[in-house]
Amino acid sequence: MSVSPSPAQDSLFSRRFLSVTLGACALVFLGAFESMAVTTIMPVISADLNGQSLYALAFAGPLATGVIGMVTAGNWADRSGPTRPLLAAVTVFTIGLIASGLATAMFPFLLGRLAQGMGGGAITVALYVMVARALPPRLHPPMFACFSAAWVLPSLVGPVIAGFIADTWSWHWVFLGVVVLVVFAMALVTPTLRRLSTTEHTRLGADGSVPERAAWDIPRILWATLAAVSVLTLSLAGEQGTGGLIIAVIALVIGLIAVRPLLPAGVLGLRRGLPGVIRMRAVVAATFFGAEIYVPYLLIEHYDFSPTAAGFALTGGAVSWAVGSALQGRLGDRLPNAVIARSAPIIAFISIAALFVVALLHLSPWLALGAWTLAGLGVGMLYPRLGVLTLAHSTPTNQGFNSAALTIADSFGSAISLAIAGTLFTSMLIGGVGPFLLVFAFTAVLALAALAISSRMLGGLPARAETAHTEPITVAAADPHTGPITLISAEEVAVHTGTITIVAPTHPDETPAETRDQGTPDA
């Protein structure tokens, strides 16, 4: 006679949680796939829609609107739970897919991309809240591991699959085909969302009282919106001729002012410690992603690569990113923060300089493939360590804000870089390799800037009384753009902080979750 498993025996793939596990991971997978796919096939799309001058806006725009989605979804989920934000986010994302897939001109395509960015940013936040409230705390680490796999797989196969679809049928199906999969994924999580929706209004606080409903943070949403609009304006400045430079400068200043309330004080200056960590994330993201979108473009435009073949360049970068993440995790403190902080910009500079030389001298395209594979290694080593340092500088009262700031800095830094690179590219769009040389020179300068500020992210950590060896758990540091979610053990976090506190909501089938203290709190 079989015995039904008790709640303590349930896993992510047990009958109780299988549907929500598959649906949530599918949504993460599809968001990651779309990001990698567009990078691969965008040269074909821009040529088909005669939109070469708006090439960079197809990437900068979604990153900018994604910040609006993240901020709004987070605030909305705090008010009423994840159900409504997730439904709205998936709806907006799907509308964007349909609009881009059916587009026969560049501007309708771009409007679809903006909707995809806003919906995708909101989906990420809403899914994390859903996991926190729908799954028992002991299943959170394996769920984040599944999310990691859902990011890694598209990074490895997404570019090639997208290129194959574009070569065999049409680039339109890269968007329209995903719509069906999004609907299916949403159907899998709908039962869980319904249960959360019916129980949200009865959710009690730790003392048994009904928690006060969070207020709408309208100023924060408006600042995020203004930052996004400034990026869009900056991207379009290249179309305005001589006056475009003035417009671009004004838009850049407004964008920096608007993003300031979303980040810790001192990020836009030269303050050390946490501001230096957040600043480093923004500049490195600007360097890497500002150059990445032009790698397949160069291969397709000047080496007659098919989209499928060009996608291998992105796959190489994704593989080396994963290798770099694993390497720094395995070596731990044997690979000091100072070494990683300086190595990543140096590797990025060497890689981008190699791309510049390849384009200038029309060298073998395989050198370009090798250069970009090398670039992923350095960034893969740095990103997880930035997540660790952010937690090290945080307390339980500001962990959420600081973690969000790291993601916002990544998206905004990339968006600004892409907008400027797009303006430079458009200004030289007269044929030949001139536009590519200008973009690679710009991102190489960003790599040197990252090297110059690398020392500002070091030091300033709180004093630590002691570190206790405890049971390892797992937290996730996500790169929302194209990179995989890197899993960091709490034991590694404890090396820098001496403490990590996890407060999880009570699951209906479990006793109230307790705070797990990893070592002695910071002094």
Token couple for 355: 């791309």
Environment class of 270 (CB within 10 Å of its CB; exposed 0-12, middle 13-18, buried 19+): exposed
pLDDT recorded at residue 311: 85
Question: Can you tell me the distance from the alpha carbon of 209 to that of 516, in angstroms, rounded to the nearest whole number?
Answer: 23
Select from 131, 193, 177 the least CA-distant residue to 33: 177
Radius of gyration of the chain (CA): 22
pLDDT recorded at residue 157: 81
Distance of CA 92 to the CA centre of its chain: 18
Helix (H) or strand (E) holding 179: helix 172-200
Per-residue pLDDT tens over the stretch 315-363: 888 888 888 887 887 777 788 888 889 999 999 999 999 999 999 999 9
Question: Can you tell me the distance from the alpha carbon of 283 to that of 449, in angstroms, rounded to the nearest whole number?
Answer: 8
Helix, strand, coil abundance in the chain, percent, nearest 5: 75, 0, 25
The residues near 128 (Cβ < 8 Å, ≥ 6 apart) are: none
pLDDT recorded at residue 301: 87
Q: What is the four-CA torsion angle of 385, 388, 394, 397, rounded to 10 degrees?
A: 130
pLDDT recorded at residue 396: 66
pLDDT recorded at residue 208: 53
pLDDT recorded at residue 207: 53
Return phi, psi of residue 504, to 5°: -110, 145
Token couple for 377: 């290694």
Listed as ranges, residues in the chain with pLDDT below 50 are 1-6, 204, 463-523
Question: Can you tell me the distance from the alpha carbon of 452 to that of 339, in angstroms, rounded to the nearest whole number?
Answer: 14
Q: Specify which residues 191 forms β-bridges with.
A: none
Taken as a whole, the chain contains a residue count of: 523
Q: Give the single-character DSSP code of 135.
A: S
Question: Can you tell me the distance from the alpha carbon of 148 to that of 32, in angstroms, rounded to the nearest whole number?
Answer: 11
